[in-house]
Chains A and B, each alone.
Chain A
Amino acid sequence: MIEDTVIGSIEQQEYTINMGPQHPSTHGVLRLVVSLKGEIVTQVKPHLGYIHRGIEKMSESMTYPQIVHLTDRLDYLSAHINNHALCLAVENALQVEVPERVKYIRTIMDELNRIASHQLWWCSFGMDLGALTCFFYGLRDREYILDIFEESCGSRLLHSYYTPGGLMKDIHPGFQKRVKDFIKYFRKVLPEYDQLLTGNVIMQERTRGIGNITKEEAISYGFTGPSGRGSGFACDVRKHHPYALYDKVDFQEVLYHEGDSLARYQVRIGEMWESMKIIEQLIDNIPEGDYSAKMKAVIKLPEGEYYQRVEAARGEFGVYILSDGGKTPYRLKLRSPNFSNLSAIDLLARNFKIADLIAIGGSLDLVIPDIDR
């Protein structure tokens, strides 16, 4: 009798641990309060706001060209793509037609940015699983892209290269050659990634069937980007609501239907191949011309609402602008992909082990400044 109650109380004892805000595998200042039963996760509660800077509020007192610089600071690993969203929104509102050259360069830059982002994801995902060597392989290759960025944009991480109407500056004369060299190199190196990690039995066992989410749930939770496409949710904005040159290039929307961490992994690896395909189609055909449309010195958006969706490296990024006709937006809302992706972490990680929670977090590829904004 006494033994029964003792055993019963031991079995039912849950304890919580604070994962973060300082923790090696939360990739930033994410704080997860995890309830555990032994090693089994019973609940995950994300606590956000450690890096909340109120970018949306700040934007309300800033002009549009200034806000472009803030969008960099959301998902710092897809800075170009975030810039693109805001610039497109402003251009559509003003009904400015940007030169063809700009569209080409923007598309190429976006895809390079996507590859760089996925490379970094691959590094950190390997590290989350304990394969430390991946980290250096990924960073080594990412360096080539950052060098390309540095040459043309002047910075490596937070580029702010796009402005409403075009680009800050024209591309570097060696840009095309550098990009082609990189693609040639990376086509050789990407299979190495598979050899090092994808084919590894331990890695596959660690990720297969871990963190499942069905297509319906993925849609309901607003899973987008590679995370959503790992569940078979065709959510590629580039394909379904094309912008820039995505309706003119030929590429596949990488879809996997398993919905587990391995599927999300494979989608990202597949996307790197597709991005290279897109760049190869465009890089030789960049037309001559201006690198920016003629814009007024002070950009004032006509009264109304504007929404622009783009496909960032982690999912659908959206900019909603409500303008009252002034030079600052009345309200600016940023739809960040990680925010929605994170919301499902409880569903994904429940009843898995604590080590799986790390793998799931890694497979979602969260960037915390994008969540907190």
Chain B
Amino acid sequence: MNNEVLKEKILAVLPKAEFAPAGQWLTITLPKERIRSYCQTLKDSPELRFDFLFCQTGLDLADQFQVIYHLESTEFRYVIVLKASIPNKENPEIDTVSDIYRTAEFHEREIYDFFGIHFKQHPDLRRIFLDEISDMIGHPFRKDYKDEVNIIER
């Protein structure tokens, strides 16, 4: 399955999709507002059926946050990557996809825990690893996170 054919198929259902320069897999960059509609379309489209979210990653880039969705179609074995950018670094927010892909429920809690990205309409958005035990303040995976007590900078 080459990426060009897949690209055309995606463009057929998502005419506005923007593609990033070629990487390992076909990558779509999108603003955070579209993530739900893109996921829903990609999952429902009979030609594509991206029904398996195998990885969801939070990223802290210099000017923005990103959430990366690795999707696979279990029927056709296509893999694509969605990159939703969240330019607002003060108060990052994005829609949840946890009702489309149930696995996202935990992944989004993890991203919230590590990056402080709020997932709107998430059913149970609590810290997942760093809650009760560590009295963690702040979100350690942000690049500006400082913890003089526990992290030794070299």
Contact = CB atoms under 8 A, between A and B. Distances in A.
Interface of A: 47-50, 52, 54, 56-57, 61, 92, 216-217, 219-222, 224, 233-235, 240-241, 304-307, 309, 316, 318, 320, 322, 331, 333, 335, 339-340, 342-344, 372-373
A240 B77 contact: yes
A318 B51 contact: no
A325 B134 CA distance: 33
Contact of B105 (A234, A331, A343): A343
Contact of A49 (B57, B105, B107, B129): B129
A54 B101 contact: no
Contacts of A322: 59
A221 B140 contact: no
B3 interface: no
A213 B54 CA distance: 18
A48 B129 contact: yes
A47 B106 CA distance: 11
A372 B131 CA distance: 12
Contacts of B38: none
B133 interface: yes
B141 A57 contact: yes
A54 B55 contact: no
Given A61-B154, A340-B106, A219 B74 contact: yes
Interface residues of B, number: 35
Given A57-B140, A57-B141, A61-B154, A318 B105 contact: no
19 contacts: A47-B132, A49-B128, A49-B131, A57-B141, A217-B102, A222-B103, A235-B74, A307-B25, A307-B55, A309-B54, A316-B54, A318-B54, A320-B55, A320-B70, A331-B60, A340-B106, A343-B105, A343-B106, A344-B102
B70 A222 contact: no
Q: Which 9 A-B pairs have the closest CB atoms?
A: A222-B103, A49-B129, A343-B106, A52-B129, A335-B55, A333-B57, A220-B102, A221-B102, A340-B103
Given A49-B131, A235-B74, A320-B68, A335 B54 contact: yes
Contacts of A224: 54
Contacts of A342: 106
Given A61-B154, A320-B68, A234 B133 contact: no
A335 B69 CA distance: 12
A220 B105 CA distance: 11
Contact of A52 (B70, B74, B130, B154): B130
A244 B74 CA distance: 22
B35 interface: no
Contacts of B60: 331
B117 to A, nearest CB: 14
Contacts of A340: 103, 106-107
Nearest to B51: A219
Interface of B: 23-25, 51-55, 57, 59-60, 68, 70, 74, 77, 79, 81, 101-103, 105-107, 110, 114, 128-134, 140-141, 154
B101 A220 contact: yes
A305 B140 contact: no
A339 B103 CA distance: 9
A309 B53 CA distance: 13
Given A49-B129, A219-B51, A220-B51, 8 more contacts: A56-B141, A221-B102, A222-B54, A224-B54, A235-B52, A240-B77, A331-B60, A340-B103
B24 A49 contact: no
A304 B103 contact: no
Contacts of A221: 102-103
B23 A304 contact: yes
A372 B113 CA distance: 12
A57 B54 CA distance: 21
B85 to A, nearest CB: 14
Contacts of A339: 106-107, 110
Contacts of A372: 129
A316 B23 CA distance: 21
Contact of A306 (B24, B54, B68, B134): B24
Contacts of B103: 220-222, 340, 343
A318 B59 CA distance: 16
Contacts of B59: 322, 331
B73 to A, nearest CB: 10
Nearest to A222: B103
A147 B81 CA distance: 42
A247 to B, nearest CB: 14
Nearest to A52: B129
A358 to B, nearest CB: 21
A100 B23 CA distance: 26
A219 B73 CA distance: 10
A349 to B, nearest CB: 15
